[in-house]
Structure 1
């Protein structure tokens, strides 16, 4: 990580990922890592057949950009397919899951905002997670 008064650079490869929900999720620009207060930026990598388990965010809208591969979003019972270059949006409170489809890995950039008052309140799992012993991504509070 490189940090100055106005610029923070985080290398994705330097951030430990979490497999707790499925896939491989790295919280990159967060209150803990960059001092951001508007939201946080993460990367999700899903190998063929992987799914991020159903959940919702009580405080945050989720913005997605598929930068590689293809995913299917299931949102409150509806589905939408996104491929490289497509963007998606999930309103706060909407139950959703993301499933990789196709033969190649999917990489998705996620931005969630605004932040919950406490990081523990920002994410609610609605089904059992596939890897409960893996800690969730570190978002942290304001620095």
Structure 2
């Protein structure tokens, strides 16, 4: 059996990106844990903040609201989520998330499968709030980490 390293990732280990709104952190991904089928992260939205409308042409997005209240607009239909509720956005569906409550909203999301290349996985369909901010990095190998080279152990 080929053993992969066990890698724990804290939210503080990865940068928070605000390009599309809120604070997005990519926790478990090809870059951080050598994931091959998708990636997982968090979104924090302050009251009134939003994630700009987008779609994922190759991937489904699974969203679980840990805290707060949000409205997710999916292809024009609005869905209200409260804490401990989840929603799946299918590949190709335009979606926008707004914090509709009075406290910080925390969303955990999983996106899978991966796009053929990272730059193909996400399409913005409205102007992003912080275009000067970097695009979240999902692919590649994290600094200082070597992928296993094969063999059984």
TM-score range, shorter chain: over 0.9
> What do residues 79-110 of structure 1 show as CA deviations (whole Å, max 9, x unaligned)?
10111100110000000000001110000000
Residue of structure 2 equivalent to 1:99: 98
Does the CA contact (< 8 Å) of 1:54 and 1:97 recur in 2?
Answer: yes
CA distance in 2, matches of 1:20, 1:125: 11
Query: What TM-score comes out, normalization by structure 1 length?
Result: 0.94
The answer as to whether partners of 1:100 and 1:106 remain within 8 angstroms in 2 is: yes
More strand by share: 1
Q: Give unmatched runs, 5+ long, in structure 1.
A: none
Alpha-carbon distance in 2 for matches of 1:135, 1:6 = 29
Aligned-residue RMSD, C-alpha = 1.3
CA distance in 1, matches of 2:10, 2:26: 11
Alignment of 1:1-143 (within 5 A): 5-141=4-140
Q: State the Cα distance separating 1:5 from its structure 2 match.
A: 2.6
SS of the residue corresponding to residue 82 of structure 1 reads: strand
Structure number with greater Rg is 2
Question: Which residue matches 2:144?
Answer: none
SS of 1:32's equivalent? helix
Corresponding pairs, count: 140
> What is the distance in 2 between the residues matched to 1:54 and 1:19?
14
Shift of 1:68: 0.8
Secondary structure (helix, strand or coil) at the match of 1:116 reads: coil
- In 2, distance between residues paired with 1:12 and 1:119? 21
Q: Distance in 2 between matches of 1:5 and 1:36?
A: 11
User: Which 4+ stretches in 1 moved above 6 angstroms?
Assistant: none
SS at 1:8 equivalent: coil
Q: Taking structure 2 as the reference length, what is the TM-score of the superposition?
A: 0.88
